[in-house]
Structure 1
Amino acid sequence: MKNDHVYDAVIVGGGHNGLIASCYLAMAGLRVLILEKNDHLGGATWSNYTFPGVNVRVSEYSYLISLLPQKILSDLGISFEIRQRPVASFTPLLKEGIPSSLLISNTSEDITRNSFITFTGDDREYQKYRILQEKLAIFARNVWPTLLSPLPSKKELRDKFQSKEEREIWDYLVEKPLSALIEDHLTDDTLRGMVFTDAKIGLLTNPDDPTLLQNKTFIYHIIGQGTGEWSVPVGGMGALVDALKSKAQALGVSFETSAKVVKVDHGVPTSVVWYTRDEKELSVAAQYVLFNTASNIVNQCLPHAYAEKQVDGSVFKINMILKKLPGLKGDSISSKDAFTGTFHLNEGYQHMKTSYQNAQNGVLMDALPGEMYCHSLTDPSILSADLQEKGYQTLTLFGLDVPYHWFTQDNAATKDEIARNYLRSINNFIEEDILDCLAADAAGNLCFEAKSPVDLESSIDLPKGNIFHGNLTWPFAEIDDDAGAWGVETNYKNVFICGSSAKRGGAVSGIPGHNAAMKVLETAGRKFL
């Protein structure tokens, strides 16, 4: 008879990576259980009807997708649409009090070039920008195909860069601070800042950071699909979770929600996983244990399983529902185009250098850098039909240079101050107060939700609000002994990391889930067919 308390693999955490790992393992014939501490699956890829009485399914924590390989969806037979945004980005600027802006199109080079000419006076900066994008594409095309394979050594990956131009972009992104790449290729401060923002998302860093943290962050923002384009998940992030959950259920994967794992008694060939549910302490046994959690949770359950120093997150999230899009001050760009792409706020290159120094020194400056975008302009399906007809839209803001430690003393008051700071910045570029554009929920409250790094830590266990779960790594083995490994191994046999804190983890990618499953199958002497 089948023992209901013994599994081939137990996965701790039901985020998208855990679901992906479970599907691969179940397709290979393994019996799998997912234990999730919340009352729902999804983790940071959860969608929710956030505002009572407002029929909008909001992606609460993560928004855009670039790093999810099509191979994973194809392997698992998952039908999930990712839609291109017509506009990549919109950057407004007040030049001596006069509104100006730069728009980057995803569909028309003529629109982009003309916007550069209007913004800078000629097309010289446009030509520099195109050259830079071509060089970044070289790096992306060489690195992207390696992420679903065991870790290459640094030399093995570098050897893929054969030509002089390839070696040059390798050196710029791997060997030198990112400031060299940006300052050697671009002149305009606004454009330098627009490019550099991809190196700051979620973490406190600067162009000259000697640790090269900014380079690692930048790399994972420019390699997705070999192009670096960020697209909209149709139906929101929750649609991905729904598709993965349905597939896992069809494959026989078991789930327990509201099940908090508290410890693992490690053994070979079998470990015992202890968890609490409904105020009861329960246990299951498994040959393999996979953690779809941050490393601090792993180490709480298994001491010294995965050595990693946690760095502070630096992020501020605002979710809003608008009853109408605001008009832009004195600009020929339509509101629809401006809010479809990434709307850059206060992200000039020198301004962000200053904001970084202020954040380091505990100084809250006016005009904090950040960016926002409207999901529903590209994918209105997250709105009910009647709200679509009324012109409702979603708006999400992602703030930079707002480190975790700012919020540890008085989270509520600091959060309120930061939120007001960003609202003032938005109002600098629109014709009316953004608060007047907000919809109201069933109780009459404005549809406005702010989340600090402390909130992210308490709600979805992101350590110190770090959206990447852990420290971003290079896409190669950082020590020779790790070459050929999958980047998911821990200090315990048959215990692996399948979440974003694995090497080459971070963002919505499914890569750690895939790689952990491949490690289990390799260890078990099986193959995924």
Structure 2
Amino acid sequence: MAKPPNVVVVGGGHNGLTAAAYLARAGVEVTVLERLDSIGGAAVSSRLFAGIDARLSRYSYLVSLLPQQIIDDLGLRVSLARRRFSSYTPRPGTTTGLLVDNQDAAATEESFAQIGAAGDAQPFAEFYRRTTLLGEAIFPTMTSPLPTAQEIRAAIGGAVWSDFVAEPIGDVIERTFSDDLVRGVVATDGLIGTFASVYDDLAANQCFLYHVIGGATGDWDVPIGGMGAVTAELERVAREAGARIVTNADVRAVSADGEVRYVVGDREHTLHADLVLSNVALATLAALLDESAPRPEGAQVKANLLLRRLPRLRSAADPVAAFGGTFHVNESLTQLEDASTSAAAGKVPDPLPLEIYCHSLTDRSILGSEFAGAQTITVFGLHTPDRLVASHGNDNLRAILRARILASLDSVLGEPIEPLLYLDAHGAPCMEVRTTADIEASVGMPGGNIFHGPLQWPWLDDEGADSPAARWGVATSHDRILLCGAGARRGGGVSGIGGQNAAMAALEILGLQSE
């Protein structure tokens, strides 16, 4: 009997596990090498606070881009809960705020009127009707070979293409909406993890697209059990299919002919693979190949808090509704652009623009029974590029960002938030702040870049592609090495798409068929 093909997956994040599961189910001998002592990469749940039974989604937090096809193909037992409210955005310096209710269009219109932006209500609804056209055309293609730009343009129409692909998203937002706050609510989707002005180039457009096409609707769902529950399911199906997963495996070198050297403890090992799938950042892969690549730059600070209860707001809005979707703080378009300008000049933005999510309002399973009234919130601060680490020092920067996060929150709350923090077993407040440097040290993302590098359009240039790896968007300059993580053409976010795409290309290269 012929020996089955052998594939090594470097990196045990969710995309690597996805690829491993698909390949093992197709009869490939798969070894996954993970540097840390547990799998999952950035898609994990952790008990962050001493003596506190709370499992927080430490880095990744919501799910939008995971296709139902991957769930069905692999038999994943995952539960994703839809949130009723899209977002709440207080108007700084006032007692009003914009509440976007997914289930009540009239209430949303009334909220626009209450903040003095009644004229933007219908343009807002129409704008997101048009982004749905993007999702309906693009998202179904994400688990197939890449379409061409011409095919996507034909599917969405020239006007939608012009507004969302060809022209800086800031220009489109500015001519569509009159109110600065409303403009900012829309612009934030182009800036999560991306350090850019919405006016300068198309980097914000690419980020925006990935934030609005998920599931063809753009909805962002809460993973029941935390993000670690998703990764645990991927690990389960990969192991059950026969994949070998090695933790504490420090990969030291990869060669173009498929040799992988790694160390576990004090022992060095070598594997010879027919194909190597890289689930690490592009810059990390280049270093393993003894090549050079640009160092990416992340642009966010992540904080996790455990509160005794939700804080009161300055406005009359119900905190359960306000924190039930995305809570935007100091994110008018002017504030976002000012923050970008400050950060580019080496200054920490003040006020710091924040995006806040309350997992526990939707999913109480992440908290122990003794925390019946508690709430977890995840804070994602924008425009804090990795260059600030060098100019401020990481420990000092972390302290500054902690203070800026609390101050930014307090500016729209009816009471200070810090006294609401639980204390851990050592009496320390339950608030963790992770800079780009902390993210790099913890999960190996150079520069703290959560996308492993610049995002790309999820389609080919019109000249097409001449290899399976290129057709699936997972090619490198080496025929036997494929990308399977966030650095793949359609990578970024918790999606499994990079892993599925790499597995499909690998099966084609190996002459096998998937189940």
TM-score (norm: length of structure 2): 0.96
In 2, Cα distance between the equivalents of 1:35 and 1:115? 51
In 2, Cα distance between the equivalents of 1:205 and 1:50? 31
In 2, Cα distance between the equivalents of 1:384 and 1:177? 46
Q: Secondary structure at the match of 1:521?
A: helix
Deviation at 1:64, TM superposition (A): 0.6
Deviation at 1:479, TM superposition (A): 7.2
Paired position in structure 2 for 1:16: 14
In 1, Cα distance between the equivalents of 2:461 and 2:409? 41
Paired position in structure 1 for 2:322: 338
Paired position in structure 2 for 1:137: 132
Q: Which residue identity does 1:314 align to in structure 2?
A: A
In 2, Cα distance between the equivalents of 1:343 and 1:265? 46
Q: Which residue, out of 240, 250, 255, partners 1:260?
A: 250
In 1, Cα distance between the equivalents of 2:407 and 2:363? 27
Residues 348 and 388, structure 2, Cα contact 8 Å, conserved in 1: no
In 2, Cα distance between the equivalents of 1:107 and 1:246? 36
Per-residue CA shift, 1:60-119, capped at 9, x if unaligned? 10111100001000000111011011211110113xx43110001122222212211222
Alignment of 1:117-156 (within 5 A): 117-120=113-116, 122=118, 124-156=119-151
Residues 82 and 234, structure 1, Cα contact 8 Å, conserved in 2: yes
In 1, Cα distance between the equivalents of 2:193 and 2:153? 27
Q: Which residue, out of 49, 52, 66, partners 1:51?
A: 49
- The question of 1:512 aligning with 2:498 is answered yes
Q: Secondary structure at the match of 2:155?
A: coil
Greater shift in the superposed pair: 405-414 or 83-92: 405-414
- The question of 1:318 aligning with 2:300 is answered no
In 2, Cα distance between the equivalents of 1:101 and 1:431? 13
Task: Flag structure 1 segments of 5+ consecutive residues without an equivalent.
Answer: none
Deviation at 1:2, TM superposition (A): 11
In 2, Cα distance between the equivalents of 1:489 and 1:425? 42
Q: Which residue, out of 419, 423, 431, partners 1:440?
A: 423
Paired position in structure 1 for 2:184: 193
Deviation at 1:431, TM superposition (A): 2.4
Q: Which residue, out of 218, 227, 231, partners 1:237?
A: 227
- The question of 1:480 aligning with 2:463 is answered yes
Paired position in structure 2 for 1:363: 347
Deviation at 1:308, TM superposition (A): 5.5
Q: Which residue identity does 1:476 align to in structure 2?
A: W
Q: Secondary structure at the match of 1:261?
A: strand
Q: Which residue, out of 485, 489, 492, partners 1:503?
A: 489
Residues 92 and 102, structure 1, Cα contact 8 Å, conserved in 2: yes
Q: Secondary structure at the match of 2:415?
A: coil
Q: Secondary structure at the match of 1:337?
A: helix
In 2, Cα distance between the equivalents of 1:343 and 1:284? 48
In 2, Cα distance between the equivalents of 1:190 and 1:379? 30
Per-residue CA shift, 1:499-525, capped at 9, x if unaligned? 000111111111000000000100011
Q: Which residue identity does 1:90 align to in structure 2?
A: Y
Q: Secondary structure at the match of 2:274?
A: strand
Paired position in structure 1 for 2:212: 222
Residues 7 and 285, structure 1, Cα contact 8 Å, conserved in 2: no
CA 1:332/1:466 → structure 2, altered by over 3 Å: closer, same or farther?
same
In 2, Cα distance between the equivalents of 1:228 and 1:449? 29
Q: Which residue, out of 289, 301, 305, partners 1:302?
A: 289
Q: Which residue identity does 2:111 align to in structure 1?
A: S
Paired position in structure 1 for 2:381: 399
Residues 324 and 437, structure 1, Cα contact 8 Å, conserved in 2: yes
In 2, Cα distance between the equivalents of 1:314 and 1:294? 16
Per-residue CA shift, 1:395-454, capped at 9, x if unaligned? 110001111010125100111112101101111222222110000111111111000111
In 1, Cα distance between the equivalents of 2:324 and 2:337? 27
Q: Secondary structure at the match of 1:402?
A: coil
Greater shift in the superposed pair: 188-197 or 482-491: 482-491
Greater shift in the superposed pair: 105-114 or 397-406: 105-114
Q: Which residue identity does 1:504 align to in structure 2?
A: R
Paired position in structure 2 for 1:293: 280
- The question of 1:385 aligning with 2:369 is answered yes
In 1, Cα distance between the equivalents of 2:59 and 2:377? 13
In 2, Cα distance between the equivalents of 1:276 and 1:381? 37
Residues 48 and 57, structure 1, Cα contact 8 Å, conserved in 2: yes
In 1, Cα distance between the equivalents of 2:330 and 2:100? 17
Q: Which residue, out of 106, 109, 119, partners 1:110?
A: 106
- The question of 1:494 aligning with 2:484 is answered no
Task: Flag structure 2 segments of 5+ consecutive residues without an equivalent.
Answer: none
Q: Which residue identity does 1:418 align to in structure 2?
A: L
Per-residue CA shift, 1:200-246, capped at 9, x if unaligned? 11111112113x10100100001101111111111110000111111
- The question of 1:91 aligning with 2:83 is answered no
Q: Secondary structure at the match of 1:282?
A: strand
Q: Which residue identity does 1:288 align to in structure 2?
A: L
In 2, Cα distance between the equivalents of 1:401 and 1:500? 20
Residues 408 and 454, structure 1, Cα contact 8 Å, conserved in 2: no
In 2, Cα distance between the equivalents of 1:121 and 1:416? 37
Residues 19 and 499, structure 2, Cα contact 8 Å, conserved in 1: yes
Q: Which residue identity does 1:293 align to in structure 2?
A: V
Residues 256 and 480, structure 2, Cα contact 8 Å, conserved in 1: no
Q: Secondary structure at the match of 2:512?
A: coil
Q: Secondary structure at the match of 2:99?
A: strand
Residues 308 and 471, structure 1, Cα contact 8 Å, conserved in 2: no
Residues 347 and 388, structure 2, Cα contact 8 Å, conserved in 1: no
In 1, Cα distance between the equivalents of 2:148 and 2:278? 25
Q: Secondary structure at the match of 1:151?
A: coil
How many residues align? The count is 511
Deviation at 1:352, TM superposition (A): 1.2
Q: Which residue identity does 2:275 align to in structure 1?
A: Y
Deviation at 1:121, TM superposition (A): 5.9
CA RMSD of aligned residues (A): 1.7
Deviation at 1:470, TM superposition (A): 1.2
Residues 42 and 238, structure 1, Cα contact 8 Å, conserved in 2: yes
Residues 346 and 387, structure 2, Cα contact 8 Å, conserved in 1: no
In 2, Cα distance between the equivalents of 1:247 and 1:29? 14
Residues 475 and 481, structure 2, Cα contact 8 Å, conserved in 1: yes
In 2, Cα distance between the equivalents of 1:59 and 1:85? 17
CA 1:277/1:2 → structure 2, altered by over 3 Å: closer, same or farther?
farther
Paired position in structure 1 for 2:270: 283
Q: Secondary structure at the match of 1:214?
A: helix
Identity, % of aligned positions: 38
Deviation at 1:365, TM superposition (A): 3.7
Residues 7 and 284, structure 1, Cα contact 8 Å, conserved in 2: no
Greater shift in the superposed pair: 244-253 or 52-61: 244-253
Residues 117 and 179, structure 2, Cα contact 8 Å, conserved in 1: no
